[in-house]
Amino acid sequence: MTNTLRGNQTPLRQTLLRARRSIEWSEIVKLALDSLHNGKVRFALTALGMVIGTASVILVVTIGLTGKRFILEEIQKIGTNEIELEYAGSGSAGSRSSNHNGFLTPDDEKAVDSQLPAVLYSSPVLEMRNRVSFGNGVVKDTLVLGVSAHYRFIRNLLVPEGRFFDELDDSTHSKCAVVTETFARLRFGSSDAALGQELVINGIPFTIIGVFKESVTDFGESEIAVETVLVPYSVARYFTGTEEVKQIYFSMRSMADVPAATAEIKRIVSARHNPNFVYATQDLREVLTMAATISNIVTAVLVLVAAVTLMVGGVGIMNIMLANVRGRIHEIGLRKAVGATYREIKFQFLSEAVIISLSGGVIGCVVGLALPLSVKIFTNYDLPVNVWSVAIALGAASLVGVVFGTIPATRAAQMDPVESLRYE
């Protein structure tokens, strides 16, 4: 019977002990809040450093994400769904001496289009160099590309003046041309003045029906030069006397189709030619991945720089808490005299430091989110906001309070009650 009573009392005693401890911790937090309330100005000035630091972290992440999105959007304008197929040469000397070469033909393009449903657009690219007169006796070696009407959509070309040639122009072998803005300005004075003018290529007059430009500057890394003339492929092939081309461009229906389509295009074309011929494919996946990686690294570096502000705020919290401990030595002695333990004193002062840092962190998050949200509400531009940046900022603010509040809290907890009561 006695053992039964003892067994029943043990859980009850543990429950009461836990309740007593929970009450003690809540009372300690109340003491910390009362202490901060008595020094509101000092509390606000100390928390200001955390407000600036936390807001800086959120704004830096927002700026980094905005820059990343802008860079990726600019790269996507070049054509992220684009796949370039190129004849890279022969893999053996025997093949090079053969009567049959491995250059691409419109039949290769048709084979890929018919066997690969993911292809949205395709165009051969026949590259030529021709001497073109720019007037006043000036003759320049100009790049002329023979392409199909779909080339405009594959390369996301813009046509600010006139129009691009269409499938009807290609099928009727229309002698029309589309030129770059630089070509139109140098040859005719302006883009508008170039429309309807004649351009002689290999002794054949071509009528300029449009002026084009690339969606984004690629710093000369594409097949399009500053002064380029585009003509229908059906006409350009008569200049070379053959249908063979070195490049064919394809555009997929979505970027997700690019990896599988790249391998399939190479397989289809390779099966139509001598096994020794080598064909290479290129796309912008690696460029996009590299750009995203660089953007993430830059954002991480900027966040670390902004974190320095949090460290400065933490040093401010430690300094003010050390001064706070020194000004409350008598109070600490009284608390210890009436039974406050080492843990309770330390927890009280640590709570004050965490409350200061966390309060500043919450206000800083509000300030940091206010700017991008205001831009989103009052303008048409949408700044990206990362929820994780808010969580990281609040977590960092709490951690700063714990780390920089530990030294003052430990110093307060280690004080001798007798010496503290004597202190004036």
User: In this predicted model, what pLDDT tens digit does every residue of 310-346 receive, in sequence order?
Assistant: 888 888 888 888 888 887 788 888 878 877 788 888 8
Question: What pLDDT is stored for residue 91 in this prediction?
Answer: 61
CA angle 166, 213, 130 (to 5 degrees): 75
327 phi, psi to nearest 5 deg:
-80, -10
End-to-end CA distance of the chain: 58
HEC string of the chain equals CHHHHHHHHHHHHHHHHHHHHHHHHHHHHHHHHHHHHHCHHHHHHHHHHHHHHHHHHHHHHHHHHHHHHHHHHHHHHHHCCEEEEEEEEECCHHHHCCCCCCCECHHHHHHHHHHCCCEEEEEEEEEEEEEEECCCCCEEEEEEEEECCCHHHHCCCEEEEECCCCHHHHHCCCCEEEEEHHHHHHHHCCHHHHCCCEEEECCEEEEEEEEEECCCCCCCCCCCCCCEEEEEHHHHHHHHCCCCECEEEEEECCHHHHHHHHHHHHHHHHHCCCCCEEEEEECCHHHHHHHHHHHHHHHHHHHHHHHHHHHHHHHHHHHHHHHHHHHCHHHHHHHHHCCCCHHHHHHHHHHHHHHHHHHHHHHHHHHHHHHHHHHHHHCCCCCCCCHHHHHHHHHHHHHHHHHHHHHHHHHHHCCCHHHHHHCC
Tokens in use for 302? 């900027």
Average pLDDT over residues 181-204: 89
Checking if the pLDDT of 5 tops 60, the result is no
Give the model's confidence band at 178: pLDDT under 50 very low, under 70 low, under 90 confident, else very high: very high
369-410 pLDDT tens trace: 888 888 888 887 788 877 888 888 888 888 888 888 888 888
381 phi, psi to nearest 5 deg:
-95, 135
Average pLDDT over residues 168-175: 92
Average pLDDT over residues 83-108: 70
113-158 pLDDT tens trace: 999 999 999 999 999 888 887 777 778 888 999 999 999 998 889 9
**CA dist., res. 424 & res. 422, Å (int):** 6
**CA dist., res. 295 & res. 413, Å (int):** 47
Question: What pLDDT is stored for residue 98 in this prediction?
Answer: 41
Checking if the pLDDT of 55 tops 80, the result is yes
Which one has a higher pLDDT value, 374 or 75? Answer: 374
- Owner of token pair 């430690």: 318
Question: What pLDDT is stored for residue 221 in this prediction?
Answer: 58
Question: What pLDDT is stored for residue 24 in this prediction?
Answer: 59
Whose CA is closest to 225, among 212, 235, 236, 238? 212
Model pTM? 0.63
Question: What pLDDT is stored for residue 2 in this prediction?
Answer: 45
Question: What pLDDT is stored for residue 94 in this prediction?
Answer: 45
Which one has a higher pLDDT value, 12 or 280? Answer: 280
Q: What percent of the chain has pLDDT over 70?
A: 86
Question: What pLDDT is stored for residue 22 in this prediction?
Answer: 42
Are the beta carbons of 400 and 357 closer than 8 angstroms? yes
Checking if the pLDDT of 14 tops 80, the result is no
Checking if the pLDDT of 420 tops 80, the result is no
- Provide the CB-side half-sphere exposure for 402 (13 A, CA): 6
Close Cβ partners of 378 (under 8 Å, ≥ 6 residues apart) = none
Question: What pLDDT is stored for residue 33 in this prediction?
Answer: 67
Give the model's confidence band at 108: pLDDT under 50 very low, under 70 low, under 90 confident, else very high: very high
Least confident of 89-98, 120-129, 294-303, 351-360: 89-98
Tokens in use for 246? 């070195």
209-239 pLDDT tens trace: 999 998 876 655 567 888 899 999 999 988 8
What does the longest C-alpha to C-alpha distance in the chain come to? Answer: 121
Checking if the pLDDT of 200 tops 50, the result is yes
Average pLDDT over residues 10-32: 54
Close Cβ partners of 26 (under 8 Å, ≥ 6 residues apart) = none
Tokens in use for 147? 């392409």
Tokens in use for 362? 């919450």
Question: What pLDDT is stored for residue 211 in this prediction?
Answer: 95
Q: How many residues does the chain have?
A: 424
Tokens in use for 409? 């809290």
Q: What percent of the chain has pLDDT over 90?
A: 20
Checking if the pLDDT of 15 tops 50, the result is no
Checking if the pLDDT of 73 tops 60, the result is yes
213 phi, psi to nearest 5 deg:
-150, 160
Average pLDDT over residues 30-57: 76
Distances (CA, A) of 328 to 115, 323, 392, 415, 423: 83, 9, 34, 11, 10
Exposed/middle/buried for residue 391 (C-beta within 10 Å: 0-12, 13-18, 19+) = exposed
